[in-house]
Amino acid sequence: GISNIFLLIALLMCLINYKSLFDSIKANYKLVVGIFLFSLYISFVGIYHDSPIRELDNYYRFLLLLPLISISFNDRNAVSILFICAISALVHAIYVNAFFDDSFRLHGTSNNSITFGHMCATLSMISIYYIFYKQYKPWINAASAVIFLILLFLTETRGPIIGIIFAVIYLTFVLKRDLETRLKFKTPIIILSILLVSIIVIPNPLGERLKDISNINLSEPLETESYYLRERVYYLAYGIEEIKDNYIIGVGPQNVQNRMSESLKLKKINRVKSADHLHNDFLDIILKFGIMSIILLFLIYFTLINSKNNQHNILLNILMIMLLSSQLTQSQFAHHQAITF
């Protein structure tokens, strides 16, 4: 609740400073046009499928948050905010006894542990960016990165590990290109290796969930013991199968769960429950709205990272890697806080 209050205050402040907002819109007109095209297309398909507004509202999130484009970015403020967020999140985790009570997965200030895990992983990568690339206040950023990674372990969320691996590899490549010292560009890879080994070797909830992946039955994936892995395998297979016949205009967001339920009954599969999203945003949005939706979404993403501000291009690319990676294993548009973040 309190996060929504602060978001509304931020939006109000941006709207009050309308001159700055207008200048920002003019400077980023390609992004604004992309967001409007995406929103109009979602509206068109929603009307075609007679979709209720509750099924569409999260896809209007870019449009709703557009006033935030007027906020200027400052490295010093960003690092301070990161550290405050890390300490606050740590205090919250201690308050709910997340370190000693293994009966629940930490979801922090989010309504979903997967969302909070993605947020923690992203914030840890921003901290790592400031340590190695910007070389700005390394000790403060190191503390932030460690806290966010510890909290990620407590969420028991596996998906963000993909983003961390890709982001660290990208950062290593950038450091090798831009820095002369060999040790500096090797350090992120060394740290990543230590992190991955620690997750597997040292007993922790996230490590145990990662080990479950090795138990997937590749010949009969629906016989996999882990319910979460079993349902995700089915959702992916179902999504690909449905898209083949509905790739032009989709099936409508409100129809996915009923159609999946009918498919499960037809195939006599009783070990998987139907859901209204596929835990993969790219397949999910195509199934619901057709192939044009993913094209317009990628247009927004491309415009975001195709910035003329070279000073922040590396950070933008890291953020986009984390977002795209998270969408591989989760339907972020199904969780309004994830796409807002």
3-state secondary structure of 219: coil
Q: What is the pLDDT of residue 303?
A: 92
The DSSP letter of residue 98 is T
pLDDT tens-digit readout, 96-133: 998 888 888 888 888 888 899 999 999 999 999 998 88
Residue 28: how many other CB atoms lie within 10 Å:
18
Residue 218 clears pLDDT 60, i.e. is over it: no
| Percent residues over pLDDT 70 in the chain | 87
Report the pLDDT value the prediction gives residue 182, as an integer from 0 to 100.
52
Q: What is the pLDDT of residue 101?
A: 83
pLDDT at 140 over 70: yes
Q: What is the mean pLDDT of residues 146-173?
A: 89
Residue 91 pLDDT more than 80?
yes
The mean pLDDT of 164-180, rounded to a whole number, is 83
- pLDDT tens sequence across 235-276: 998 999 999 999 999 999 999 999 999 999 998 888 888 889
Q: Could you tell me if 145 and 131 are in contact, meaning their C-beta atoms sit under 8 angstroms apart?
A: yes
Q: What was the pLDDT predicted at 44? A: 96
Please count the other Cβ atoms lying within 10 Å of the Cβ belonging to residue 214: 6
Average pLDDT of every residue of the chain: 87
For residue 103, give both structure tokens.
Answer: 């009966």
Among 301, 304, 315, 306, CA closest to 75? 315
Which residues are CB-neighbours of 102 under 8 A, at least 6 positions away?
205
Q: Which of the four pLDDT bands, split at 50, 70 and 90, describes residue 177?
A: confident
Burial of residue 135 (CB within 10 Å: 0-12, 13-18, 19+) is exposed
What mean pLDDT do residues 17-29 have?
A: 91
Specify the pTM. Answer: 0.87
The C-alpha atoms of residue 90 and residue 120 are separated, in whole angstroms, by: 11
Q: What are phi and psi of 204, to 5 degrees?
A: -160, 155
Which residues, other chains included, contact 204 with Cβ-Cβ below 8 Å and sequence gap of 6+? 153
